[in-house]
Amino acid sequence: MRLAEPFQERRAEVITGSVRIDGAAADATRVLVVSGDAQRLLGSALTEPDGSFAVAVDERPVHLVVKLQGPLIGIVTTRLDPDHDEATPIDVAIDTTSGRFHPVTGHFTGQPRPPFVLLSIDPVRLDGVNPELGRFFNRRDQRVVEASFFSAQVTGSQFELVAQAGQYRIRAGYVVKARPVLPETPVDVVVAKVVLADGEVDLAGDAASGFDLYVTGPARLRLTLAPTHP
């Protein structure tokens, strides 16, 4: 006969805290809680207008992953040790003037010019962030994964962002879901070439997979649009 193991009640503790960017409350910012071994997503929350958040989890240690999804782009992580007291709120203060964040500007050239360009940027590896956590960068919660970490419709010819130092994949285009089917097929447009304007360096990559952007300082990009089927 097997003896029953002592009953242990698993207590769901609530991790609370707040996110502030340059001293201001960060509203609607995604906060993930990932297991200490960086293998499992345990919880997810959006910050309130005052920057506060609360996530119920029942294990320690955990990683807190704060996603900055534009126009300030980056990932800030904090590890909570097993002895973390749930009564102690976690305050995540982000200082964009600390040298970890840099302006990234882009200018679209080429033809044809669609009504807008859907720009998407995905972090690959960021300075100061455990690479193991990379698999969660695009997670929203346990049910949803985001197609892009950051995406925006650019209606003009330029965009300006601020990005954390690190490696990103950038792509853009106007790929039309032909809805409904029309007598004339619309023309798809993609960014076929990205050049780091300072030094005229072509970024590695292609339109389908994206281009590798390494942010180490201020970056000026020139993105060339081209039709997918000339």
Partner 1 sequence: MGVLRPRLLRWPLDVVEGLDRGGPMSQRSRIKRVEDGSRVPPQPDSARDPAPEPSVVVTAITRELQRSGGEHLAGDVFSRRPALAGQADHVLGLQRAVGNAALGRRLRPSPLTSGVTGVPTIQRVLSPDDQTALAAQLHKAMQGLGTDEEAVFSALQKLNKNATDAAALKAAYRAAYSTALEDDLRSEMSGSELALALELLGEGGTAVGGPPAGPADINATVTRLEAAFAGLGTDEEAVYACLIPFGRDAAQLASLKSAYASKSGSDLEADIKSEMSSDELAYALYLLNAPAPLPPTADVTVVKPGTEAHAGALAGGKVSVRTGVDFDVGSTPYPGGFAVGYEGGLATDSGWIQFLWSEIVATQSDGTAAHVAQGGLPTTNGTMELTADPADPKRVVDSASVGSPFYEAGGVDIRTPSSTTLYDRPSEFADIMTKQFDAGATKAVERDHFDQFLVRDYKTIYHTSVTVEWVYTSKTAVTRTTTAGAAGEVTEMPKAFRSVLTAQYPKSEYIQ
User: Which residues lie near partner 1 (CB under 8 A)?
Assistant: 39, 114-116, 118, 135, 138-140, 142-148, 151-153, 173-186, 208-209
CB 72 within 8 A of CB 102: no
Pair of tokens at residue 85: 């007291």
Q: Whole-number minimum distance, CB 218 to partner 1, in Å?
A: 27
- For partner 1, the closer CB: 51 or 114: 114
Contacts of 150 (CB under 8 A, 6+ apart): 69, 70, 73, 120, 121, 122, 161
CB 104 within 8 A of CB 163: yes
- For partner 1, the closer CB: 87 or 147: 147
Calpha distance 63→136 (Å, rounded): 11
- For partner 1, the closer CB: 118 or 196: 118
Q: Whole-number minimum distance, CB 62 to partner 1, in Å?
A: 17
Q: Whole-number minimum distance, CB 141 to partner 1, in Å?
A: 9
Residue showing tokens 């009953």? 7
| Listed residue (149, 140, 153, 198) closest to 170, CA to CA | 149
Contacts of 2 (CB under 8 A, 6+ apart): none
Q: Which amino acid appears at position 27 of this protein? A: D
Calpha distance 32→90 (Å, rounded): 13
Q: Whole-number minimum distance, CB 53 to partner 1, in Å?
A: 19
Q: Whole-number minimum distance, CB 176 to partner 1, in Å?
A: 5
Pair of tokens at residue 48: 């309130």
- For partner 1, the closer CB: 62 or 119: 119
- For partner 1, the closer CB: 57 or 90: 57
> What are the φ/ψ torsions at residue 222 (nearest 5 degrees)?
-120, 120
- For partner 1, the closer CB: 104 or 122: 122
Q: Whole-number minimum distance, CB 24 to partner 1, in Å?
A: 25
First to last CA, the chain: 76
Residue showing tokens 């995905």? 122
